Amino acid sequence: MDTLEAARLQMATSLGFHIVFACIGMVMPFFMIVAHYRWLKTGKQAYLDLTKAWQRGVAIFFVTGAVSGTMLSFELGLLWPGFMKHAGPIIGMPFSLEGAAFFVEAVAFGFYLYGWKKLRNKWFHWFTGLIIGVSGVASGILVVAANGWMNAPSGFVFEDGVFSQIDPVGALMNPAWFTQSLHMTLAAFASTGFAVAGIHAYQIWRGRKKEIHFFAFKIALLFGSIAALLQPISGDLSAKDVAERQPVKLAAMEAHYETMEGAPIFLGGIVDEETGTVSHKLELPGLLSFLAFGDFNAKVRGLNDFPKEEHPPIGITHYAFQVMVGLGSLMMLAALIYFWSLKKTKLHDKKFFWLFFTLMAPAGFLALEAGWTVTEVGRQPWIIHGIMRTSEAVTPVPGIQVTFFMYLAIYVVLATAIWWLMQRQIRVFNQETTIS
């Protein structure tokens, strides 16, 4: 493993770990304040118990997200000094604003955690919970805007290897920020919604505290289902943006080697990068042309139109894209089943119904990880698309292999601690919750 491979693996591991907790931190506060709202309206102790249980979960994930996010920030300088030297002054604004949003989120969380018996106005207390969620979403959007800049660099002039005429606002409002932010925000709500709903579905499947777990399941899955059904819209916008700005990434996503009009979408397929062929695939004629350009006969450029040194790892990109789309489609189906079950309430008495949603719990986060794999691996070999190669940005300092394994060990310890803490919280919740 050379320095470049070690640096990319370390960054991928850190991002893959952090993104889960970042998404939970963005979305869980909204679940919490819905339960809080119901307690304020009904006075039922069970809703207060649920609010405080979710509050403890938000606290655990908030701290974990802060730690892993800080580690990622250090890694940008540690692993990619060539990138930060040039990109830092350009995309410093979204990172600075993200820091401000995180600060607001932390202050609001302090008010919320310690305000139960100290804030006289109960609705102001509830409002601080809303601020946690809104600032968390804003923080996520700002970070994704910085990533969007890496895919669609703007806000500067690049001549003779020098960045000049820097416009931080232009960099922040880069051409990819909206589509990526929308897609990521919906993915956060869908993945967190299905994960939380799955945990409560498991409790119902096991016959524990059915009423309050059913209420929790409904809150989480309502958010998750709506996001899952809206996700194809954002996916379509993202695909059109990629087709225009990163055609080689689109070709890798679909494993298309030949340029053609009326290009089909491949379902499945095994990629042979040496021969440039894809076997065992199902073709849907013209659909890629339509999804990319709104015309069933539009020309889609294939990988063979681009120099091989500009090809991303095609197999990984294609398989990750297939996983993302497949799981996203399954989540859409699950969302429709859930909304149908609201009319066919007898389904709620069937154990297979709760088992199904239990098994759906990891689907969103698996799709999320696959989607980030498509975004990051599909951009290779560029760290700034069309401007700077990843190999040009990596640190020249040896020994990154050691830090990779050190970081990996830290993440294993953190993941184990979080698993234990969440198991403990669920056990305590099941013992203490009452229906009144």
Q: State the pLDDT at residue 433.
A: 55
Q: Angle at CA 10, nearest 5°, toward 388 and 390?
A: 10
| 259-279 average pLDDT score | 84
384-414 pLDDT, tens digit per residue, is 988 889 988 888 888 888 888 888 888 888 8
Per-residue tokens: 204: 């119902």
- C-beta of residue 293 within 8 angstroms of C-beta of residue 262: no
For residues 124-153, one letter each, b for 16 or more C-beta atoms within 10 angstroms of the residue's C-beta and e for the rest, the string is ebbebbbbbbbbbbbbbbbbbbbbbbbbbb
- Rounded to whole angstroms, how far apart are CA atoms 236 and 239? 5
Q: State the pLDDT at residue 336.
A: 94
Q: State the pLDDT at residue 362.
A: 93
| 49-57 average pLDDT score | 86
In 188-345, the DSSP E strands lie at 260-261, 265-272, 277-284, 299-300
- Rounded to whole angstroms, how far apart are CA atoms 50 and 34? 10
Q: State the pLDDT at residue 327.
A: 94
Q: What is the greatest pairwise CA distance in the chain?
A: 71
3-state SS record for 148-196: HHHHCCCCCEEECCEEECCCHHHHHCCCCHHHHHHHHHHHHHHHHHHHH
Question: Residue 436: pLDDT band by 50, 70, 90 thresholds?
Answer: very low
Q: State the pLDDT at residue 289.
A: 87
14-28, 172-186, 201-215, 395-409: segment of lowest average pLDDT: 201-215
Q: State the pLDDT at residue 431.
A: 67
Q: State the pLDDT at residue 33.
A: 92
Asked whether residue 28 carries a pLDDT value surpassing 80, the answer given is yes
337-356 pLDDT, tens digit per residue, is 999 988 877 777 788 888 99
Q: State the pLDDT at residue 435.
A: 45
Asked whether residue 194 carries a pLDDT value surpassing 80, the answer given is yes
Asked whether residue 6 carries a pLDDT value surpassing 70, the answer given is yes
| 45-68 average pLDDT score | 85
Asked whether residue 265 carries a pLDDT value surpassing 80, the answer given is yes
The structure's pTM equals 0.90
